[in-house]
Amino acid sequence: NWAHKDRDDHPINCVNQAQAMTFCIWIGARLPTSKEWEYAAKGGESRIYPWGNDGPTKDHATTGFSGTETVGSHPMGQTAMGLLDMAGNVQEWTSSDSNKDKVSVRGGSWGRKLRELRASNRNGAPKSAQWRDTGFRCAM
């Protein structure tokens, strides 16, 4: 999205894990661990989705295969902690390894199946991956 002037308010995407980590460090933060990410997505509760237990709709998350949307476009998808876009828009890098060759990415993106919007969903990605549906958020 960085090269698109009409997407200044969209999530950053197409960055690898090292680039995401570098940005977080630059602002005095870090990438969350996979466990921290899930805790924030569930709001410290036992929820299926970041917004609760009701299945996803277009009001909860950016889904389908159209691309990213403006950050916060789906306020009904807000977590109990007030976080937005924990499901939909982009899946997000974490600092946790998924296995010896991959890193855990969390949150289903606009290009994923609806079942992948669950707060407990996790995927693995090579650290060097720079995918259109993968971005990040920083933790303090």
pLDDT at 91: 94
d(CA 67, CA 100): 30
pLDDT at 131: 94
pLDDT at 87: 92
Residues of the chain with pLDDT under 50: none
pTM across the whole model: 0.92
pLDDT at 137: 96
Angle (CA) 31 22 6, round 5° = 90
